[in-house]
Amino acid sequence: MEKRKFNVMDVLGEQLAGVADTMLEIPIDDIRDNPRNFYPTPDPQALRALADSIRANGLLEPPTVVPAGDGTYRLISGHSRLAAIRSMWEDGTEEDWARFAKILCRVLPPMSEGQEQAAVIEANRQRVKSNALLAEEAARLTEAYIKRREAGEQLPGRIRDYVAEALQVKATKVANLSAIKNGLKVPGLVDRWKRDEIPEAAALQIARMDIDEQYRLLDWIIDKRRSLTINEVRKFFTCYTMACRSCEHTGRMCENAERMYDHDYRYGEWHGSNCCLNCLDRDTCPAACQYVEKKPVEEPEAPAVNPAVKDPRLDYKVMVPTFCQRVKELRIQTGMSRKEFAQSIDEFPGTYSACENASMCGSEKIAKLALCFGVSTDYLYGLTDDPTPPALPEGQLMIAGWMPGSTNPAEPGEFAAYVDLGDGKLVKRFFDWDGQHWMMPGGIEAQAPVAWWMRLPPVPAAGKGDGND
């Protein structure tokens, strides 16, 4: 369909093209509100302000009317202006009554119902509109175009395209607004939509739910005191899906779904699991289902400590000065500046400079530095004065970066790994590799696939709690 610039005569029909309108003074008692006007009237305060403006400056823009056929006229535009003038009969003076007993109006020729509806919409083109008002306009224009087609008028193409052109929006938006208007069934949600409290994307998602889901959503939003954003609606739908899942233990519907969601919402980490049995944290999570058998977490045995050597692990902060000093000395031996060395290991100069000044970087960066300098991580930590790296099993390398999950470590040990929870959600966890499986604390096999892994350097146990791992 060829795009044309929209005008009122295009909406009204070709039979009215070229018909001139007239200007006529009409008694205000002979002017009626149009039943096809669905636009809201101004609030009382705004109406008083409009009445004061008309009283002071006159009626600058005449209302537009059409003959009703019984000697009266119906408004096409000017409903707010007429309401403001009528309010003067309550608080105005006799001068106001006499002044506005008759008003000058623009009179259009008689129209059909569909043409009249289209003209009312066209008259409100400049109004700032909510999506709910646009949806009502689209519905009424669609009805008008259908009637014109049924009357035999040639309207090639989709009516949706005509409506989109008339409203100056995309056809997809017209389709979305129509789906929302027809799909929202619960009065509380409809009221919020009309008050522009629900974004279009969220409203479209809600409109696709059945009425029971919509009622539950409304109760849930009110109970949790949350806004109807698209993210909240999606999270509710996920929770609702979990709630409709049969429990393997009881054979009834899951009763823990909302508790699962509330826990994840509070801690800002949405696991996306549809059952606690599939959650990586089920053994320690306080929101886990009562039917999940929680296994006690075994405390690891404390490493043997040589009593002849002062153990800096008693106070992790004492490692920092030694770490910074040794990193600086080893860098000086390379003959490079801080900036040059940082660039050589693909690190930001500021990040590396912190390692020489007053802080200790994360374990993966420490392993990277140890590999670049050709020393052991124990030497950087100050746990030994021997810089020689420990002998490693044949074929096993000290990993200074992340390895893809498609590979496996050559030897068992402790590792940091990122597990894939789906939808691009990666969560870092610490695992033991037993040679065949990734194991969580307590000897539980990890259920989620490992996307990346890295061998942990021989960092003292206290170092895992420094917040930099």
pLDDT, tens digit, 9 for 90 and up, residues 99-155: 888 888 988 888 888 888 888 887 777 666 778 888 888 888 888 888 878 888 787
pLDDT confidence of residue 73: 93
Give the highest mean pLDDT range of 7-11, 47-51, 440-444.
47-51
pLDDT confidence of residue 469: 39
pLDDT confidence of residue 128: 66
DSSP 246: B
Minimum mean pLDDT among 164-178, 317-331, 451-465: which range?
451-465
Greater model confidence, 358 or 72: 72
Structure confidence at residue 296 as a pLDDT band (50, 70, 90)? low
Predicted confidence (pLDDT) at residue 391 exceeds the cutoff of 80: no
Predicted confidence (pLDDT) at residue 23 exceeds the cutoff of 50: yes
Helix (H, G, I), strand (E, B) or coil at 439: strand
Helix (H, G, I), strand (E, B) or coil at 74: strand
Greater model confidence, 168 or 205: 205
**What are 47-80's pLDDT values in tens digits?**
888 888 888 778 888 888 999 888 899 988 888 8
Q: What is the mean pLDDT of residues 456-465?
A: 45
**What are 398-437's pLDDT values in tens digits?**
444 567 777 788 778 778 787 887 776 777 777 888 888 8
Query: Between 200-207 and 171-183, two packed helices, what is the crossing angle to 10 degrees?
Result: 50
Q: What CATH architecture applies to the domain 312-381? A: Orthogonal Bundle (1.10)
Cα three-residue angle 97-98-100, rounded to 5 degrees: 70
Predicted confidence (pLDDT) at residue 267 exceeds the cutoff of 60: no
Give the span between the Cα atoms of 178 and 440, in whole angstroms. 51
pLDDT confidence of residue 298: 59
Greater model confidence, 433 or 287: 433
Q: What CATH architecture applies to the domain 8-174? A: Alpha-Beta Complex (3.90)
Alpha helix ranges (H) inside 225-318: 230-243, 257-267
Predicted confidence (pLDDT) at residue 396 exceeds the cutoff of 70: no
**What are 341-350's pLDDT values in tens digits?**
888 777 777 7
Intervals of CATH 1.10.260.40 along the chain:
312-381
Predicted confidence (pLDDT) at residue 271 exceeds the cutoff of 60: no
String of b and e for 402-424 (b: at least 16 CB within 10 Å)? ebebeeebeeeeebbbbbebeee
pLDDT confidence of residue 398: 47
Predicted confidence (pLDDT) at residue 374 exceeds the cutoff of 90: no
Intervals of CATH 3.90.1530.10 along the chain:
8-174
Structure confidence at residue 293 as a pLDDT band (50, 70, 90)? low
**What are 180-231's pLDDT values in tens digits?**
988 998 888 898 888 888 888 888 888 888 888 888 888 878 877 778 888 8
DSSP 462: G
pLDDT confidence of residue 16: 45
Give the span between the Cα atoms of 367 and 359, in whole angstroms. 15
Provide, rounded to the nearest whole percent, the portion of the chain with pLDDT above 70: 74
Neighbours of 391 (CB within 10 A): 6
Provide, rounded to the nearest whole percent, the portion of the chain with pLDDT above 90: 1
Mean model confidence pLDDT for the chain? 75
pLDDT confidence of residue 94: 73
Predicted TM-score (pTM) of this structure: 0.41
Q: Is 156 exposed, middle or buried (0-12, 13-18, 19+ CB in 10 A)?
A: exposed
Query: Tokens 């966890």 map to which residue?
Result: 429
Predicted confidence (pLDDT) at residue 8 exceeds the cutoff of 80: no
Alpha helix ranges (H) inside 209-256: 211-224, 230-243
Predicted confidence (pLDDT) at residue 14 exceeds the cutoff of 50: no
Predicted confidence (pLDDT) at residue 306 exceeds the cutoff of 80: no
Residue 76 CA: distances (Å) to CA of 11, 448, 462: 14, 64, 78
Q: Which amino acid is at 204?
A: L
